[in-house]
């Protein structure tokens, strides 16, 4: 079936005309639903009625399966009201009876390759159920032959794999005993003759290999393939194991969740590799770690069983917030939300990947991804909802900081910069003693002078342009940093302003690929020195400096100006078109920064007359 890049419910005419939300059992206690279209005995168009059992939860599960099966079919045809195909209706009836696995019976004229290919095609087209072979031995012989064909010239189409009934050495299934109860070409697994299903367990390995050779020899005799030599290498058998499928002949019911994750991680390593840096980006490393965590928490399963219920089960695991590793405490809501986002990104990639035939359920976009809130989440709610540094704590930080630490502190308070913004700051983005042009002054409604300095840059994370007028002490710190940077190689306007002692940026990952923690660690060491001297200060992270700056801007201005100050994508949450019809009010941002500067005068005084002398 052709994959659809858009997932939306089918139109009412294609899907169902009666979408009932209430469940009522009939007089016999059965729940039912009318799904899809069929012709009555009189030739009238009507909906097919499915009996879904007497258990409410089982009926709901079967209904979801049936709707997904029907929606996939209905959206693949241009007809407004398509009729149930006979074979698809047989599958739907089994789903309505609660059958999770459908066994495919071999036809009298089935050869091993055609039998295996037919099961693969059914699984690829109808992923809502799992198709298993009724004759496992015949299926495994066909898969082994397909495995060998992966080393030979590929056939043009699957239809060319046809063996004559009178061909010498062919493997025929015509003498096999039929199942006890046959419904078209599929049967429920419990109705399969055990002697047929377990026949492979009683077969000898030489016979298994002989059957594969017979198939290949017959195809070569008919001119369908050319054997490179007389002895085609076969999968090594120990007792007997089903051969692994080749990449050319994908077997849907054998591809697993873990297999797809490993393929996704390879994609991430390609997608997020930066040749100019000769390394993987930090975000790429984070995604790989997230996928490893998903493997640790979620059990492996066949991709063919990852239907709407399977996907909801995986998302629900994170929504319920599992316990932290090595602890009985539930993980934070933020962490659970991050893992749900990682899972959704993976599933979207899996849907578009040509390596796997898995497709997203139609209800995928409606999946509930909201993380559950616990009573413990609200236990620590107080007046200070966001942790920020107090004025006394900022004074201590300024007093105990080294020159580089002071510059990091000032960039956080003056511009709301976090670790990423500081480590990527370029020399040319620091406009020292440079006023705006008259036209720029008009746009921002602010008259700047040559005595003022600014940082003008685009925030890498949001792609939003921002400007910040600088405190006098921040200007001193940048001048000191430029002098230090000029002593290192590759200095230019396009160079990073701040490098470590090894001449590498502060966002360069560690040897093991982990995120660089130099900037947060410097603040942590400063706080440790303060505590060792007997002062009281909270052990807050470096990111709290950005929150502190945002809180100060909001105090002296407004929430909208704080959003512009922090370079948010939408400073006015209620107006997504605000940036399309007006320029950002940087003049008001500058005025708010000036107010914050006056408020922080006691903090600046703690640095002394020479704040950037070692």
* pLDDT tens per residue, range 468-496: 999 999 999 999 999 999 998 889 999 99
Q: What is the predicted pLDDT for the residue at 230?
A: 44
Domain with 548, as residue range(s), is: 391-605
Please tell me whether residue 46 adopts helix, strand or coil conformation.
strand
| Residues 262 and 274 placed together within one structural domain of the fold | yes
| Residues 466 and 583 placed together within one structural domain of the fold | yes
pLDDT tens digit sequence for 493-525: 999 999 988 888 998 888 777 788 999 999 999
CA-to-CA separations, 308 to 70, 315, 419, in angstroms, rounded:
13, 11, 40
**What would you measure as the largest C-alpha separation in the chain, in angstroms?**
102
d(CA 449, CA 435): 5
d(CA 479, CA 453): 11
d(CA 57, CA 305): 19
Classify residue 126: in a domain, yes or no: no
Lowest mean pLDDT segment, chosen from 58-62, 383-387, 523-527: 383-387
pLDDT above 90 (res 550)? yes
**Cα atoms in the 13 Å half-sphere on the side-chain side of 52:** 23
Q: What is the predicted pLDDT for the residue at 137?
A: 77
| Burial bucket for residue 68 (CB in 10 Å: 0-12, 13-18, 19+) | buried
Query: Is 13 within 8 Å of 43 (Cβ atoms)?
Result: no
| Residues 161 and 248 placed together within one structural domain of the fold | yes
Q: Which residue has the higher pLDDT, 417 or 386?
A: 417
Lowest mean pLDDT segment, chosen from 321-325, 496-500, 562-566: 321-325
pLDDT above 70 (res 12)? no
Tell me what the mean pLDDT of segment 200-213 comes to: 51
pLDDT band at 275 (very low <50, low <70, confident <90, very high): confident
Query: Is 367 within 8 Å of 311 (Cβ atoms)?
Result: yes
pLDDT above 80 (res 611)? yes
Q: What is the predicted pLDDT for the residue at 175?
A: 34
| Residues 215 and 156 placed together within one structural domain of the fold | yes
Q: Which of 222, 121, 95 is nearest to 163 (CA)?
A: 222
Q: Which of 357, 341, 171 is nearest to 247 (CA)?
A: 357
Q: Which of 132, 138, 70 is nearest to 101 (CA)?
A: 132
Lowest mean pLDDT segment, chosen from 39-43, 379-383, 598-602, 607-611: 379-383
181-190, 262-271, 512-521, range with greatest mean pLDDT: 262-271
Tell me what the mean pLDDT of segment 365-393 comes to: 81
Q: Which residue has the higher pLDDT, 1 or 110?
A: 110
| Residues 318 and 374 placed together within one structural domain of the fold | yes
| Residues 439 and 453 placed together within one structural domain of the fold | yes
DSSP 8-state symbol, 243:
P
pLDDT above 80 (res 39)? yes
Q: Which residues of 581-598 are buried (b: 16+ CB within 10 A; e: fewer)?
A: eeebbbbbbbbbbeebbe
pLDDT above 60 (res 17)? no
Q: What is the predicted pLDDT for the residue at 215?
A: 67
| Residues 373 and 460 placed together within one structural domain of the fold | no
Other beta carbons within 10 angstroms of residue 530's beta carbon come to 19
Tell me what the mean pLDDT of segment 599-604 comes to: 97
pLDDT band at 415 (very low <50, low <70, confident <90, very high): very high
* Phi, psi dihedral angles at 385 (to 5 degrees): -75, -30
Classify residue 104: in a domain, yes or no: no
| Residues 25 and 75 placed together within one structural domain of the fold | yes
* Phi, psi dihedral angles at 383 (to 5 degrees): -60, -45
Tell me what the mean pLDDT of segment 97-102 comes to: 82
Q: Which residue has the higher pLDDT, 233 or 337?
A: 337
Q: What tokens were used for 194?
A: 């055990």
Q: Which residue has the higher pLDDT, 9 or 78?
A: 78
Classify residue 385: in a domain, yes or no: no
Q: What is the predicted pLDDT for the residue at 221?
A: 64
Q: Which of 328, 317, 409 is nearest to 368 (CA)?
A: 317
First-to-last alpha carbon distance for the chain, in angstroms, is 69
pLDDT above 70 (res 243)? no
Percentage above 90 pLDDT, the chain: 43
* Backbone region of residue 220 per phi and psi (left: phi > 0; alpha: psi in -120 to 50; beta: other values): alpha
Q: What is the predicted pLDDT for the residue at 75?
A: 84
Strand 101-104 relative to strand 130-133, pairing: parallel
Can you give 132-149 as a three-state secondary structure string? EECCHHHHHHHHHHHHHH
| Residues 501 and 514 placed together within one structural domain of the fold | yes
Q: Which of 248, 49, 271, 62 is nearest to 149 (CA)?
A: 248
Tell me what the mean pLDDT of segment 88-114 comes to: 84
Q: Which residue has the higher pLDDT, 161 or 374?
A: 374
DSSP 8-state symbol, 256:
B
pLDDT band at 433 (very low <50, low <70, confident <90, very high): very high
Tell me what the mean pLDDT of segment 392-402 comes to: 96
Q: Which residue has the higher pLDDT, 453 or 242?
A: 453
CA-to-CA separations, 588 to 309, 356, 446, 594, in angstroms, rounded:
52, 53, 8, 10
Q: What is the predicted pLDDT for the residue at 176?
A: 34
- Residues present in the chain in total: 614
Classify residue 93: in a domain, yes or no: yes
Domain end: 353, 379, 405, which one? 379
Tell me what the mean pLDDT of segment 309-327 comes to: 89
d(CA 104, CA 120): 11
Tell me what the mean pLDDT of segment 349-378 comes to: 83
Mean pLDDT of the chain: 79
Lowest mean pLDDT segment, chosen from 80-84, 360-364, 514-518, 599-603: 360-364
User: CA 405, 406, 408, 413: dihedral to nearest 10 degrees?
Assistant: 140
Q: What is the predicted pLDDT for the residue at 558?
A: 92
Please tell me whether residue 337 adopts helix, strand or coil conformation.
helix
pLDDT tens digit sequence for 123-140: 777 777 778 888 887 887
CATH number at residue 399: 1.10.443.10
Q: Which of 102, 75, 105 is nearest to 89 (CA)?
A: 102
Domain end: 379, 405, 438, which one? 379
Classify residue 248: in a domain, yes or no: yes
| Residues 286 and 225 placed together within one structural domain of the fold | no
Q: What is the predicted pLDDT for the residue at 540?
A: 95
Classify residue 125: in a domain, yes or no: no
pLDDT above 70 (res 464)? yes
Classify residue 121: in a domain, yes or no: no
Domain end: 359, 379, 399, which one? 379
Q: What is the predicted pLDDT for the residue at 147?
A: 66
d(CA 318, CA 364): 16
Please tell me whether residue 32 adopts helix, strand or coil conformation.
strand
Q: What angle do CA 547, 548, 550 make, to 5 degrees?
A: 65
Classify residue 185: in a domain, yes or no: yes
Domain count, the chain: 4
| Residues 179 and 270 placed together within one structural domain of the fold | no
d(CA 413, CA 548): 7
Tell me what the mean pLDDT of segment 2-22 comes to: 43
pLDDT above 50 (res 151)? no
pLDDT band at 543 (very low <50, low <70, confident <90, very high): very high
Packing angle of the helix pair 333-352, 257-271 (nearest 10 deg): 90
Which residues touch 613 (CB under 8 Å, ≥6 apart)?
403
pLDDT above 70 (res 228)? no
Which residues touch 468 (CB under 8 Å, ≥6 apart)?
414, 415, 416, 454, 455, 565, 589, 590, 593
Lowest mean pLDDT segment, chosen from 41-45, 186-190, 567-571, 600-604: 186-190
d(CA 349, CA 296): 20
Q: What is the predicted pLDDT for the residue at 257?
A: 93
| Residues 544 and 595 placed together within one structural domain of the fold | yes
């Amino acid at each position: 079936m052709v994959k659809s890049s858009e997932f939306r419910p089918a139109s009412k005419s294609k899907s169902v005309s009666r979408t009932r939300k209430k469940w009522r059992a009939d007089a016999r206690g059965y729940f039912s639903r009318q799904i899809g279209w069929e012709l009555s005995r009189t030739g009238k168009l009507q909906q097919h009625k499915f009996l879904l059992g007497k258990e409410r939860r089982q009926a709901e599960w079967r209904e979801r399966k049936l709707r997904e099966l029907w929606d996939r079919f209905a959206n693949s045809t241009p007809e407004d009201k398509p009729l149930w195909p006979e074979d698809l209706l047989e599958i739907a009836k089994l789903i309505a009876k609660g059958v999770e696995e459908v066994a495919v019976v071999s036809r009298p004229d089935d050869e091993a390759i055609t039998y295996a290919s037919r099961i693969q095609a059914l699984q690829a087209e109808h992923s809502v159920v799992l198709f298993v072979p009724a004759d496992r031995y015949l299926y495994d012989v066909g898969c082994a032959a397909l495995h060998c064909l992966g080393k030979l010239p590929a056939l043009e189409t699957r239809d060319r794999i046809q063996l004559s009934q009178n061909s010498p050495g062919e493997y025929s299934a015509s003498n096999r005993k039929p199942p006890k109860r046959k419904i078209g070409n599929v049967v429920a697994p419990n109705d399969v003759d055990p002697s047929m299903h377990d026949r492979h367990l009683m077969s000898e390995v030489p016979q298994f290999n002989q059957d594969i050779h017979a198939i290949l020899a017959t195809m070569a005799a008919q001119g369908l393939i050319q054997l490179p030599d007389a002895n085609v290498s076969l999968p090594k058998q120990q007792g007997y194991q089903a051969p692994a499928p080749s990449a050319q002949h994908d077997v849907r019911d054998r591809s697993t969740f873990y297999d797809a994750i490993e393929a996704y991680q390879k994609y991430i390593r390609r997608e997020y590799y930066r040749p100019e840096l000769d390394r993987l980006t930090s975000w790429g490393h984070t995604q790989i770690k997230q996928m490893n965590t998903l493997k640790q928490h979620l059990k492996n399963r066949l991709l063919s069983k990852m239907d709407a219920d399977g996907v909801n089960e995986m998302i629900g695991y994170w929504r319920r917030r599992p316990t932290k590793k090595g602890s009985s405490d539930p993980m934070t809501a933020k962490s659970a939300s991050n893992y749900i986002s990682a899972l959704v990104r993976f599933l979207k990639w899996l849907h578009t990947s040509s390596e796997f035939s898995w497709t997203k359920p139609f209800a995928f976009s409606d999946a509930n991804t909201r993380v559950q809130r616990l009573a413990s989440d609200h236990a620590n709610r107080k007046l200070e909802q966001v942790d920020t540094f107090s004025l006394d704590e900022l004074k201590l930080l300024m007093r105990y900081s080294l020159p580089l630490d002071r510059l990091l502190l000032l960039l956080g308070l003056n511009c709301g910069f976090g670790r990423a913004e500081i480590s990527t700051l370029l020399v040319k983005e620091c406009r020292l003693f440079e006023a705006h042009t008259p036209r720029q002054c008009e746009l921002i409604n602010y008259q700047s002078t040559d005595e003022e300095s600014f940082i003008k840059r685009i925030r890498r994370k949001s792609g939003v342009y921002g400007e910040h007028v600088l405190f006098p002490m921040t200007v001193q710190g940048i001048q000191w940093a430029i002098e230090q940077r000029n002593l290192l190689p590759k200095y230019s306007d396009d160079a990073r302003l701040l490098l470590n002692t090894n001449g590498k940026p502060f966002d360069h990952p560690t040897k093991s690929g982990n995120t660089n923690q130099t900037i947060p660690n410097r603040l942590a060491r400063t706080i440790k020195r303060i505590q060792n001297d007997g002062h009281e200060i909270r052990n807050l992270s470096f990111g709290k400096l950005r929150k502190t700056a945002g809180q100060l801007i909001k105090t002296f201005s407004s929430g909208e100006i704080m959003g512009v100050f922090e370079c948010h994508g939408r400073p006015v949450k209620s107006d997504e078109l605000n940036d399309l019809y007006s320029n950002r009010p940087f003049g008001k941002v500058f005025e708010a920064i000036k107010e914050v500067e006056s408020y922080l005068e006691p903090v600046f005084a703690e640095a002394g007359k020479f704040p950037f002398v070692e």
